[in-house]
Amino acid sequence: MIEVVVNGEKSEIKEDLNIDEMIAVLGYKEKSFAVAINNTFVPLSEYKECKIKDGDLIEILAPMVGG
């Protein structure tokens, strides 16, 4: 297990997950959000190749609608 921070909360997840796998493990159903790891935006096209590492700071951002 590795420890990461997701949206400000510490979480333990299995080692060697990519972003798609991490999203499923954390229970996110929708895919209409953006992901940043260590303050760097990760394009959707890289979710399968980008591995989560111990200590990563992960932000999962949902779009806001309205004004």
**SS3 at position 5:** strand
CATH number, domain with residue 54: 3.10.20.30
Residue 18 is classified by DSSP as B
- Let me know if residue 16 belongs to a domain: yes
What is the tally of structural domains in the chain?
1
Residue 67 lies in a domain: no
- The model's pLDDT over 3-46, given as tens digits with 9 standing for 90+, comes to 999 999 999 999 999 999 999 888 877 667 899 999 999 999 99
Does residue 21 lie within any of the structural domains? yes
pTM recorded for the entire structure: 0.84
The residue range of the domain holding 38 is 2-61
Quote the CA–CA distance of 55 and 43 in Å, as a whole number: 20
66 belongs to a structural domain: no
| pLDDT at position 47 | 93
Residue 36: inside a domain: yes
DSSP 51: B
